[in-house]
Amino acid sequence: MRTSEFVGLGLIVVGLFHVLPGLLAGEIPARWPVSPLRRDNKPQEFAITLGVFIAAIILGVGLIGASLLHRLVD
C-alpha cells in the first residue's frame, strides 16, 4: 500500500469513528466537544463540526481513488 492509501484509510476511519455512532443512535450532533492539551497540559475546549468529519471521509475516499487510478495508469 502507498502512503496516500494509508492516509486515506486513516481519514475514513477517523471520520466514521465519530459519525457512525450518531447515525446508529439516530442522533447526529452538530458539534463534537474535543479537549486537546495545551502547552501547560490543561484541556482547552472547542468543538468540531459535522462537516469536518464528512470532509475527512470524502478526502480519504478521494486519496484512495486517486492512488488506485494512478496504479492503473502505471
Q: Tell me the pLDDT tens digit for each residue of 23-63.
A: 777 776 656 655 555 566 555 555 677 778 888 999 999 99
Residue 22: pLDDT over 80: no
Domain tally, the chain: 1
What does the alpha-carbon distance between residue 56 and residue 67 come to, in Å, rounded to a whole number?
A: 16
pTM value is: 0.66
Residue 15: CB atoms within 10 A of its CB come to 20
Range of the domain at 15: 3-73
